[in-house]
């Protein structure tokens, strides 16, 4: 096709979001909507005083976690100015009236993050990580079906009325109603983005780094290759131009399958959309949406263009790598003030935006400049060798010495003596010299010197031991190259086992007196014998040293059950607190199990406290459920009621009560441990979604975030959801955690990052 192409340049920057811009929706009225990790949606209107710019006109608040996909509803009788549909990490689909900016519908049904929304006539179709598609008429869910065996990442409506979906199972499916009429196979990794190519077919963007154009019959018409990382989004214009956005920090413009322009960004490009006039909108991880234009009269003013160029230069400089290291990690020119140790020694230093190599001239006692170091294909000139502290080596190994210690850097040249290298390194790192043989073995194996001949008569002057000979068993374990973790995977369950029984009984007595003095509620008050029985229960629970022989009767549990059913909701929490502790008692949990098998007191309790959510009830009831994990006889019940339990307590992660936050994250953590043990992949995906929602929170209690991160890391290491976590940007979660001022949060962030690197 013959298309005129002019270079795109910056038109304007839409600033306002406080975190990654994740989604873009072009509204028919000329407006733009953007969604963000900051949990908001912003509407942008054309600036009436400057037709090249846009200004923020509305902020839509309602999602409790980051917002992703958006869809436009054209003006109609119900929505005279149009409406917007949004999907979020909070599992909700929300409908917004743009005339007022108010949320008018909340669609609840998905169990995990919503990844796609589209219109099918007047119906809303939503897609989710829970692998389902759901059809909604108004606020009513009228149809649900499992569309893929792996998370659905994108959905679009074709002009024919058919639907297309892209999934982590690497396929695209074509749907007529809820019937799959064709499956498109060809991508080698997750299909992340979909778009319609007018009059031609379907565009797909994939984690395999490619964009494909498909005929609706499933034939691949074109493959566009050029991105160097995951491609998250793709869109097409009626002119025939295609735009794509990638983790490689670029939005690329394609013409006839050829990349004609790469627009650099200071971060990951999450989404891309064409405007009607051919301009392009991009969503970036730096929290800014940008409009790019090929129309000369709309290009931004020189000052803004220069500002963006400076921003981009600073970003690139912070990420530039020289000899395998970031440019900013190289020593400055001051390193040249230190004499070299031998003739010809090479050092690389930072000069402006470049890394420059120098060689030591022993005769003149000067550093002689060799030239600029450029990362690229190794041309054999030695300039691609790794660098440590400004010095080039044949190898710079990452050595994991275990015990939760940080990774150490071990430099080595093939011409060096492995024993000398090991001795110097151990002394430098202040490590025991008894590690010497393992370090030598590690060096020889990882430098490919397996046939290296050693003198087996050698005696270590420090330990008196013989040298290690390759091919023979080492006396101690070799240095591990596998990651070791400080906080993951989590083993065992966390429980809430502390209780102030005197305070609990005092509160029950206070409530009982209030009931007794109210003529309408006197019948609910405890009799003297029941009060005595409660005191006896508390006494048994206090005496932990006799848990192995103390017993509870059915009457004890029946009394607690009676109070939970009959007492006013506002007075339940001290009774729930006693129940929480009975669960931890060996005999108490057995009696509870027998009673609950006949009459599910736990589900009844959960429904009662969450129908009228009061913080004290939420806190004690979540902790009671958490304690059920201690006894394996409740594990099947917990597994079977997972969805109901998470639905009931879903809002607790963002509670203003910090103790409720921590209790909910502990529930998530225990579920992660249980479902890993049970090899329940669907359940693990559900728990991962809940944990990510907590980890995304900006103002959550540190301990709550920590437990959620441990759940995520454990699910990735020992569970079956590593790929799903990678698909949903767990790397940014890890990066954010690593920057935390709290040590344990930073450490578990580093643990997750190590899992990602060894994926």
The residue that leads in pLDDT, 390 or 524, is 524
Could you identify the residue written with the tokens 């690139």? Answer: 316
Contact 135, 141 (CB under 8 A): yes
User: Which tens digits make up the pLDDT trace of 233-263?
Assistant: 999 999 999 999 998 899 999 999 999 999 9
For 517-553, where are the alpha helices, taking DSSP H only?
528-542
- 89-115 residues labelled b (16+ CB within 10 A) or e (exposed): bbbbbbbbbbeebebeeebebbbbbbb
pLDDT for the residue 401? 57
Q: In what order do the strands lie in the sheet with 191-197?
A: 191-197, 201-206, 210-214, 220-225
CA distances from 162 to 155, 159, 300 (A): 11, 7, 40
User: Which tens digits make up the pLDDT trace of 627-643?
Assistant: 999 989 999 999 999 99
pLDDT for the residue 406? 62
**C-alpha to C-alpha distance for 738 and 733, rounded to whole angstroms:** 9
- 356-390 residues labelled b (16+ CB within 10 A) or e (exposed): bbbebeeeeeebeebeebeeeeeeeeebbbbbbeb
pLDDT for the residue 456? 38
Q: For residue 101, give both structure tokens.
A: 């900016």
Residue 371's pLDDT band, with cuts at 50, 70 and 90, is low
pLDDT above 70 (res 748): yes
User: Which tens digits make up the pLDDT trace of 187-229?
Assistant: 988 999 999 999 899 999 998 899 999 999 999 999 999 888 8
The residue that leads in pLDDT, 39 or 742, is 39
Per the prediction, the chain carries an average pLDDT of: 85
pLDDT above 70 (res 461): no
Identify the CA nearest to 232 among candidates 197, 271, 186, 188: 271
User: Which tens digits make up the pLDDT trace of 714-746?
Assistant: 999 888 888 888 887 888 889 888 888 888 888
User: Which tens digits make up the pLDDT trace of 258-312?
Assistant: 999 999 999 999 999 999 999 999 999 999 999 999 999 999 999 999 999 999 8
**C-alpha to C-alpha distance for 482 and 25, rounded to whole angstroms:** 44
CA distances from 294 to 6, 298, 730 (A): 6, 8, 35
Mean pLDDT of the region 170-192: 94
Residue 467's pLDDT band, with cuts at 50, 70 and 90, is very low
The residue that leads in pLDDT, 473 or 161, is 161
Residue 27's pLDDT band, with cuts at 50, 70 and 90, is very high
Secondary structure (DSSP) of 204-215: EEETTSEEEEE-
pLDDT above 50 (res 78): yes
CB atoms within 10 A of CB 631: 18
**C-alpha to C-alpha distance for 747 and 486, rounded to whole angstroms:** 7
Q: Mean pLDDT lowest for which of 185-189, 209-213, 327-331, 509-513?
A: 327-331
The residue that leads in pLDDT, 269 or 365, is 269
pTM for this model (two decimals): 0.63
Residue 132's pLDDT band, with cuts at 50, 70 and 90, is very high
State the DSSP code for 35. Answer: E
pLDDT above 80 (res 120): yes
Task: Spell out the residues 6+ positions from residue 166 whose beta carbon is closer than 8 angstroms to its own.
Answer: 152, 153, 154, 155, 172, 190, 191, 192, 193, 194, 204
pLDDT for the residue 464? 36
pLDDT for the residue 389? 67
pLDDT above 60 (res 462): no
Peptide bond into 489 cis (omega under 30): yes
Mean pLDDT of the region 648-659: 85
Could you identify the residue written with the tokens 């059950």? Answer: 561
For 629-697, where are the alpha helices, taking DSSP H only?
635-640, 642-649, 658-677, 681-696
pLDDT > 70 in the chain, percent: 88
User: Which tens digits make up the pLDDT trace of 385-444?
Assistant: 677 766 777 778 777 655 455 667 888 887 777 777 887 887 777 777 767 777 787 787
Could you identify the residue written with the tokens 């005929």? Answer: 215
Mean pLDDT of the region 686-705: 85
pLDDT above 80 (res 71): yes
Mean pLDDT of the region 77-82: 92
**C-alpha to C-alpha distance for 543 and 538, rounded to whole angstroms:** 9
The residue that leads in pLDDT, 152 or 339, is 152
Strands 280-284 and 269-274 turn out to be: antiparallel
Query: What's the chain's Rg over C-alpha atoms?
Result: 31
pLDDT above 80 (res 508): yes
The residue that leads in pLDDT, 733 or 328, is 733
């Amino acid at each position: 096709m013959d298309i005129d192409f002019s270079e795109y340049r910056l038109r304007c920057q839409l600033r306002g979001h406080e975190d990654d811009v994740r989604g873009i929706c072009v509204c028919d009225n000329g407006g733009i909507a953007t969604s963000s990790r900051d949990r908001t949606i912003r509407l942008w209107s054309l600036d009436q005083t400057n037709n090249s710019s846009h200004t923020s006109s509305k902020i839509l608040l309602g999602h409790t976690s980051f917002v992703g996909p958006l869809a436009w509803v054209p003006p109609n009788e119900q929505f005279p100015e149009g409406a917007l549909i949004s999907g979020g990490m909070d599992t909700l689909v929300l409908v917004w009236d743009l005339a007022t900016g108010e949320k008018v519908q909340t669609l609840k049904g998905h169990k995990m993050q919503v990844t796609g929304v589209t219109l099918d006539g007047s119906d809303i179709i939503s897609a989710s990580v829970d692998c389902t598609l759901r059809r909604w008429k108004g606020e009513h869910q009228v149809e649900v079906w499992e569309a893929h065996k792996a998370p659905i990442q994108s959905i679009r409506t074709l002009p024919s009325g058919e639907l297309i979906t892209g999934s982590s199972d690497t396929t695209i499916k074509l749907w007529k109603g809820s019937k799959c009429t064709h499956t498109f196979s060809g991508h080698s990794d997750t299909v992340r983005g979909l778009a319609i190519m007018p009059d031609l077919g379907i565009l797909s963007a994939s984690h395999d780094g490619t964009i494909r154009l498909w005929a609706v019959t499933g034939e691949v018409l074109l493959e566009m290759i050029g991105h160097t990382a995951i491609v998250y989004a793709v869109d097409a214009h009626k002119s025939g131009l295609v735009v794509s956005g990638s983790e490689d920090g670029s939005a690329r413009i394609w013409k006839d399958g050829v990349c004609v322009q790469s627009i650099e960004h200071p971060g990951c490009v999450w989404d891309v959309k064409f405007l009607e006039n051919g301009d392009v909108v991009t969503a970036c991880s730096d929290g800014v949406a940008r409009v790019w234009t090929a129309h000369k009269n709309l290009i931004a003013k020189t000052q803004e263009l220069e500002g963006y160029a400076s921003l981009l230069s600073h970003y690139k400089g912070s990420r530039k790598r020289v000899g395998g290291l970031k440019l900013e990690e190289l020593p400055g020119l001051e390193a040249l003030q230190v004499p070299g140790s031998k003739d010809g020694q090479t050092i690389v230093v930072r000069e402006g935006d470049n890394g420059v190599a120098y060689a030591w001239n022993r005769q003149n006692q000067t550093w002689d400049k060799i030239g600029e170091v450029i990362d690229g294909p190794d041309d054999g000139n030695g300039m691609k060798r790794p660098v440590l502290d400004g010095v080039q080596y044949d190898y710079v190994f990452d050595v994991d010495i275990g015990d939760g210690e940080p990774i150490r850097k071990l430099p080595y040249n093939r011409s060096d003596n492995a024993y000398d290298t090991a001795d110097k390194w151990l002394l430098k790192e202040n490590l025991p010299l008894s590690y010497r043989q393992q370090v030598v073995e590690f060096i020889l194996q990882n430098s490919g010197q397996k046939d290296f001949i050693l003198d087996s008569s050698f005696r270590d002057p420090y330990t008196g031991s013989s040298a290690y000979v390759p091919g023979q068993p080492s006396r101690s374990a070799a240095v591990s190259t596998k990651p070791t973790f400080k906080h993951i995977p989590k083993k065992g369950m966390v429980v809430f086992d502390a209780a102030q029984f005197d305070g609990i009984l005092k509160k029950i007595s206070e409530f009982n007196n209030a009931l007794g003095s109210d003529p309408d509620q006197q019948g609910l008050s405890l009799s003297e014998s029941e009060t005595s029985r409660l005191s006896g229960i508390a006494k048994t629970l206090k005496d932990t040293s006799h848990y192995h022989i103390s017993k509870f009767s059915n009457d004890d549990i029946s009394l607690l059950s009676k109070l939970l059913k009959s007492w006013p909701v506002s007075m339940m929490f001290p009774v729930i607190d006693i129940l929480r502790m009975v669960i931890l008692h060996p005999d108490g949990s057995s009696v509870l199990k027998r009673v609950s098998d006949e009459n599910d007191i736990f589900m009844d309790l959960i429904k009662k406290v969450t129908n009228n959510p009061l913080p004290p009830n939420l806190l004690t009831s979540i902790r009671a459920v958490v304690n059920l994990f201690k006894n394996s006889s409740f594990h099947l019940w917990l597994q079977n009621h997972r969805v109901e339990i998470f639905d009931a307590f879903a809002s607790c992660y963002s509670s203003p009560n910090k103790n409720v936050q921590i209790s909910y994250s502990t529930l998530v953590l225990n579920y992660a441990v249980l479902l890993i043990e049970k090899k329940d992949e669907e359940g693990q995906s559900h728990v991962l979604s809940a944990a990510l929602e907590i980890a995304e929170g900006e103002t959550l209690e540190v301990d709550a975030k920590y437990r959620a991160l441990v759940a995520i890391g454990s699910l990735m290491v020992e569970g079956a959801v590593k790929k799903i976590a990678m698909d949903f940007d767990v790397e940014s979660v890890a990066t954010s955690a690593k920057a935390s001022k709290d040590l344990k949060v930073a450490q578990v962030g580093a643990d997750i990052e190590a899992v990602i690197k060894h994926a």
